[in-house]
Structure 1
Amino acid sequence: MEKYPTTNQTLRNLAATAIYTILLLALITAAARQNNSLTRQRLTGKAGIAPQVTDPPAALSFIVVGLGAFRGLAAEALWFRADQLQLEGRYFELVQLASWITALDPYAADAWAYNAWNLSYNISALMLRDEDRARWVFHGISLLRDEALKWNPASAQLCRELAWLYLHKVGDNLDRAAPLYRKQLSTQISPLLGDSGLYPNTSVGQQLLCENWRLNKESVSQLTRQVGLLDWRQAESHALYWGLEGVARTQNSAEVFKCRRIACHAMMALIERHQCSDLLPALLNQLAQLYKETPSPAVRRLYSLYIIKAIQQASATGNHNESERLYTILLKVAAKDYMIPLLKDLLEDKTTGNDLLKPLQQGVLHGEK
Structure 2
Amino acid sequence: MTTDLDTAITRAFREESGQVIATLIRVTGDWDLAEECLQEAFALALRTWPRDGVPAKPGAWLTTAARNRATDRIRREAVGAAKLREAAALDVPAEPDQDESGVHDDRLRLIFTCCHPALSLEGQVALALRTLAGLSTAEIARAFLVSEATMSQRLVRVKRKIRTAGIPYRVPPAELLPERTAAVLGMLYLLFNEGYSASAGTDLLRPDLSAEAIRLARILADLMPGEPEVLGLLSLVLLHDARRSTRVDGDGALVSLEDQDRGRWNTAEIAEGTGLLESALRRGVPGQYQIQAAIAACHATAAHAAETDWAQIAALYGELLRFVPSPVVELNRAVAVAMAEGPEAGLVLVDKLAGSLPGYHLLPATRADLLRRLGRIEEAAGAYREALTLAGTEAERAYLSGKLAEIS
TM-score range, shorter chain: 0.3 to 0.5
Instruction: Give the TM-score, by structure 1 length.
Output: 0.36
Query: Which structure has greater helix proportion?
Result: 1
Instruction: Give the TM-score, by structure 2 length.
Output: 0.33
